[in-house]
Amino acid sequence: MQNNHPTRRKFILGSAAVGIAATHALDHTHGATDKKNSPIKEFTLRSTKKYSDPFWDIELDVLVTAPDGKQQRIPAFWSGDNNWRWRFSAKQPGSYHYETIASDKDNASLHGVTGKFQITGYDNDQTLFKQGALQVSADKRYLETSDGKPFLWLGDTWWMALTERLQWPDDFKQLAADRQKKGFNLVQIVAGLYPDMDSFDARGKNEAGFPWQADYATIHPEWWDLADQRIEHLVESGLMPCILACWGYYLNKMGMKKIKAHWRYVIARWGAYPVVWCLAGEGSMPWYLSKSKKKDKAELEEGWTEIARYVRKIDPWQHLITMHPTRSSREVVRDPTVVDFDMLQTGHSDYRSIPNTLERISAAVAKKPLMPVLQSEVCYEGIMAECRQDIQRFMFWSSMLNGCCGFTYGANGVWQINTESQPFGPSPHGRTWGNTPWQQAMNYPGSQQVGLGAQFLRTLPWQKMSPHPEWVMPHWNKKGYHNPSAAGIPKKLRIIYTPTLWSPPKLLGLEKGLTYQARLFNPASGEETTLKPVTGNAQGEYQLKTFPEQRDWVIVLQR
């Protein structure tokens, strides 16, 4: 049987490299895509029975049994015409068996179909994570890959990158290559139901139109086929997709039944890939022009809590779940245990956002139950003609040294995908965030500088660090938010981010009898300067005499 979807290339998924060899002993009504050495196996089933609205009239799952007897229930998706497809990935080699389960038990072409396929080992050094998808560390402080390697999240904000304004393949691949080269390892991206526009706004189309038919009557598979290409390319480029199903207020617009159906379709399409699920963008924020915002907000908080449990229930791969908030993921849902880690959004007002940023990070890191915390949105570079590279450096280093396990950058012009001929224009509230084309915004210096910071931290045991403001004077507090931040591992490592000061800060609390090798890291250029070894005086103090130039620096003490 022929499959009407793009040819897939090879990439790595899982700590054990495995490939899927298709079996040919299959019924003529269904077939498997024979992609040797690919970790994604895709099956197509064709219904001999026609439905007036296939998306709503029938639901199809596939029960897959692994060689060790463990089972996964895989959601299938309607792919147009009378075709349904399902995708599978696994790390365990051996013989797999499956049986389809359709809500219409009388449809023998979809219900009770059985088959088998073989997964065999292979070698492939191509791209995304040999270590596998993400999980939460044992101490609940950071994220790691499935083989236990720490994952320092450096994300980029591409909310509208599945629209036709970021053309496929050239534009999309150009942006992906730039971010991968700079050290990014993740992209936050929305599955077609976007912010800052009303339903079925022409700015939200891709080359096939919209992800849903008019009035959200039913799904539009052709939109998703084109989105597949882009999601797959992110994976192949080593950029993990953090997929937001929609912006939060679509729950008010579409209702619980349709949002659950949308989420099921997202999981069926992309759950076999190494991804992170983000329930919605600004999940508790009502529609911009709502006249019942208090009521809408309460409904959103209740509704997204229910949807979080639904996503957890139907996702056979159990990917991590979070929520992009207006403030904190925990505040969007009624039960914080439905999310695996806490995202923060702390403002877009340049240096005026620093107090809120530092206070919110500190509060989130200390909050119970413990969970990883990351900065998911702050001060898009260039927004409102400010928030330039200096604030990007400050926000990155201050976030990481005060307890965050990751940071998502954003460039104004990239998040909404402005083009020279098609700037995004005004949001529903009437204001325009800026018209800089994405090609120009892509090259804002802050993106390279936060990338340098992430790459530098990845050379150190950053995941074992904890905040230590008492190690430096001055340090940030409510009387001096612009002062240094410090973190590290006692007796092993100290890192101090020093914004521009008239003179270097004093280092405090140095352990008696210990000597640290010292260096300066330039957070704008990545250049390092070796300093004299540092040993504390009788009071455990050490005063650096001067910096090479008056600017921000990262001080590194390492034994």
- Whether residues 419 and 532 fall in one domain: no
Residue identified by tokens 């309607």 is 78
pLDDT digits (tens, 9 = 90+) for 56-113: 999 999 999 999 999 999 999 999 999 999 999 887 889 999 999 999 999 999 999 9
Q: What is the DSSP string of 11-32?
A: ---SSS-EEEEPPS---TTEEE
Side-chain half-sphere exposure of 411, counting CA atoms within 13 A? 25
Q: What is the DSSP string of 403-459?
A: T-SEEEE-BTTTTTT--SS------TTS-------HHHHTT-HHHHHHHHHHHHHTT
- Whether residues 355 and 453 fall in one domain: yes
Least confident of 35-39, 131-135, 539-543: 35-39
Least confident of 8-12, 291-295, 324-328, 448-452: 8-12
- Whether residues 102 and 200 fall in one domain: no
Q: Is residue 140 in a domain?
A: no
pLDDT score for 38: 55
Integer CA distances (angstroms), 336 to 54, 178, 284, 367, in order: 36, 35, 14, 11
Q: What is the DSSP string of 326-369?
A: SSBHHHHSS-GGGSSSEEEE--SSGGGGHHHHHHHHHHHHH-SS
User: Residue 82 in contact with residue 64, Cβ under 8 Å?
Assistant: no
Number of domains composing the chain: 3
Residue identified by tokens 């039944």 is 257
- CATH number of the domain to which 116 belongs: 2.60.40.10
Spatial separation of the C-alpha atoms in residues 521 and 527, rounded to whole Å:
6
Sign, CA torsion 175/179/180/184 = negative
Question: Measured between alpha carbons, how far apart are the two ends of the chain, in Å?
Answer: 62
Integer CA distances (angstroms), 546 to 249, 486, 531, 549, 553, in order: 52, 19, 11, 8, 11
Percent of the chain exceeding pLDDT 90 equals 87
Q: Is residue 173 in a domain?
A: yes
Q: Give mean pLDDT, residues 401-418.
A: 98
- Whether residues 175 and 222 fall in one domain: yes
pLDDT digits (tens, 9 = 90+) for 180-210: 999 999 999 999 999 999 999 999 999 999 9
Spatial separation of the C-alpha atoms in residues 77 and 55, rounded to whole Å:
8
Residue identified by tokens 């799952």 is 61
| pLDDT classification of 541: cutoffs 50, 70, 90 | very high
- For helices 445-457 and 389-401, give the axis angle rounded to 10 degrees: 20
pLDDT score for 39: 72
Q: Is residue 7 in a domain?
A: no
pLDDT score for 264: 98
Domain finish residue from 440, 463, 486: 463
Q: Which H or E element spans position 267?
A: helix 256-270
Residues in the chain: 559
Cβ within 8 Å of residue 409, ≥6 positions away: 154, 155, 156, 157, 184, 381, 392, 396, 446, 447, 450
Spatial separation of the C-alpha atoms in residues 499 and 525, rounded to whole Å:
15
Q: Is residue 515 in a domain?
A: yes
Find the domain containing 89 and state its range.
18-121
Percent of the chain exceeding pLDDT 70 equals 91
* CB neighbours of residue 215 within 10 Å: 9
- Whether residues 113 and 180 fall in one domain: no
C-alpha triplet 258, 264, 270: angle, nearest 5°: 135
Q: Is residue 451 in a domain?
A: yes
- Whether residues 451 and 470 fall in one domain: no
- Whether residues 454 and 483 fall in one domain: no
Q: How far does Cα 343 stand from its chain's mean position?
A: 10
- CATH number of the domain to which 288 belongs: 3.20.20.80
pLDDT score for 68: 95
pLDDT score for 10: 27
| pLDDT classification of 271: cutoffs 50, 70, 90 | very high
- Whether residues 75 and 103 fall in one domain: yes
- Whether residues 82 and 197 fall in one domain: no
Q: Is residue 134 in a domain?
A: no
- Whether residues 96 and 229 fall in one domain: no
Which residue type sits at 223? Answer: W
Spatial separation of the C-alpha atoms in residues 530 and 518, rounded to whole Å:
6
| pLDDT classification of 17: cutoffs 50, 70, 90 | very low
C-alpha triplet 187, 189, 195: angle, nearest 5°: 140
Domain finish residue from 415, 447, 463: 463
Whether 384 has a pLDDT exceeding 80, the answer reads: yes
pLDDT digits (tens, 9 = 90+) for 459-486: 999 999 999 999 999 999 999 999 999 9
pLDDT top residue among 34 and 492: 492
- Whether residues 452 and 487 fall in one domain: no
Cα-flanking dihedrals φ and ψ of residue 357, to 5°?
-60, -50
Q: Is residue 428 in a domain?
A: yes
Q: Is residue 413 in a domain?
A: yes
Spatial separation of the C-alpha atoms in residues 178 and 184, rounded to whole Å:
9
User: Residue 144 in contact with residue 398, Cβ under 8 Å?
Assistant: no
Q: Give mean pLDDT, residues 288-303.
A: 97
| pLDDT classification of 13: cutoffs 50, 70, 90 | very low
Domain finish residue from 99, 121, 143: 121
User: What's the chain's average pLDDT?
Assistant: 92
pLDDT digits (tens, 9 = 90+) for 100-146: 999 999 999 999 999 999 877 544 544 553 556 899 999 999 999 98
| pLDDT classification of 20: cutoffs 50, 70, 90 | very low
* CB neighbours of residue 430 within 10 Å: 8
Task: Give me the torsion for CA of 268, 273, 279, 281, rounded to 10°.
Answer: -120
Whether 251 has a pLDDT exceeding 60, the answer reads: yes
- Whether residues 345 and 393 fall in one domain: yes
Whether 493 has a pLDDT exceeding 90, the answer reads: yes
